[in-house]
Structure 1
Amino acid sequence: MAELRMTELLSAFLDEYRIRPWNPGVDVDCCLFLAEWAMVIGHPDPAAHLRGTYSDEAGFREIIIQAGGAVAIVEGCTATINAKRVQQPAPGDIGVIGSPTNIFRQFGAIFDGERWLVRYENSIGPLAATSLAIWRL
């Protein structure tokens, strides 16, 4: 029953979030996608320290470089809400997917029960990629 509720809540979140305009560093980008989802399910903002620190791709890339990749960024954010690292995703779990060696090809993603979804500039869609880290919120 809890999984069904999570799936319904996630579906409603995705419907609302996909139509929001791209707004990097404020509320709509590929990594803040995860933080917004965490807040929807009742957590405090795990990315509050990142909001307002960048406003474009170049600024975000600088943060990625300083952190050493998206896994480190999301790890820091999830630690603030006591998210649990897991090996296999369940609906509503968040993760970082992509290249283990190219930090500019790592993406924040949410698992919908079938696949990983990422926020693109103009939509939300699936991305088939290697799971680098997974957290249960």
Structure 2
Amino acid sequence: MTLHEFLALPHRFRWGGMGGDDCTTFCGTWLQESIGFDPAEEYRGTYASSKGAHDILARAGGVVAFAAAKLEPVGFKRVQHPHDGDVGVVKAPTGLDGETKEICAIRFGPLWALLSPSGVVAKKLDHVAVWRAPGGDPDV
């Protein structure tokens, strides 16, 4: 499945990645569809709220530490220059107060695609950390 095909699917926001995805399992679903590996598999269905997701990420030391622990042991490389299909942690605005949070997203051209309660959105955002799947182009 290509990234364009994946993003065009009817995505549904559901905490815990059952019957839909949240912002973190969305990236796991992309990796499952594109390379056959779901880093979120063991967490799907184990939480059903924002608090449940936050608790898992807090125990891991934050979203960057969580992603690194799931991706790097299976050969994902941390890169500085994102390419289409790379997964990363970005700073994204949440709510009306302008607060930003670190969330998982997929690189899509010059934008980052992420899943929000209103569906897939693509925005120009700053990345905090980016990983490329094993066998992907080297970081140049």
Aligned partner letter, 2:14: N
Structure with greater helix share of residues: 1
Which residue does the alignment assign to 1:136?
Answer: 132
Partner of 1:106: 102
Give the alignment's TM-score, normalised by structure 2. 0.80
Query: Pick from 7, 10, 24: which aligns with 1:14?
Result: 7
The residue number in structure 1 matching 2:138 is none
- The aligned counterpart of 2:120 is 124
Structure 1 residue 110 displacement after superposition:
0.5
Residue-pair matches, total: 124
CA separation of 1:38/1:80 partners in 2, compared to 1, >3 Å: closer, same or farther? farther
**Secondary structure in 1 matching 2:74:** coil
User: Structure 2: how far apart are the matches of 1:23 and 1:115?
Assistant: 23
Q: CA deviation at 1:9?
A: 0.7
1:79 alignment partner in structure 2: 72
2:33 matched to 1:40?
A: yes
Contact 1:109/1:116 (CA < 8 Å) preserved in 2? yes
Root mean square deviation of aligned Cα: 1.9
Could you say if the C-alpha distance between residues 127 and 69 of structure 1 is closer, same or farther in structure 2, counting changes exceeding 3 Å?
farther
Task: State the SS of the aligned residue for 2:121.
Answer: strand
**Structure 1: stretches of 5+ with no match in the other structure:** 1-7
Given that 1:46 and 1:81 are in contact with CA atoms closer than 8 Å, whether structure 2 keeps it comes out as no
Runs of 4+, deviation exceeding 2 Å:
126-130
The Cα offsets for residues 78-124 of structure 1, whole Å up to 9 and x where unpaired, read as: 1353211111001111100118xxxx811101111211111101211
Identity of aligned residues (%): 31
The answer as to whether partners of 1:10 and 1:92 remain within 8 angstroms in 2 is: yes
Q: Deviations over 1:13-37 (max 9, x none)?
A: 0011xx2322211250100111111
Aligned to 1:97: 90
User: What is the alpha-carbon distance in structure 1 between the residues aligned to residue 68 and residue 6 of structure 2?
Assistant: 22
Judge conservation of contact 1:46–1:80 (CA < 8 Å) in 2: no
- The one-letter code of the counterpart of 1:74 is A
Contact 1:44–1:81 under 8 Å retained in 2 = no
Residues 25 and 50, structure 1, Cα contact 8 Å, conserved in 2: yes
d(CA) in 2 for partners of 1:29 and 1:111?
Answer: 17
Of stretches 127-136 and 116-125 in structure 1, the one that deviates more from structure 2 is 127-136
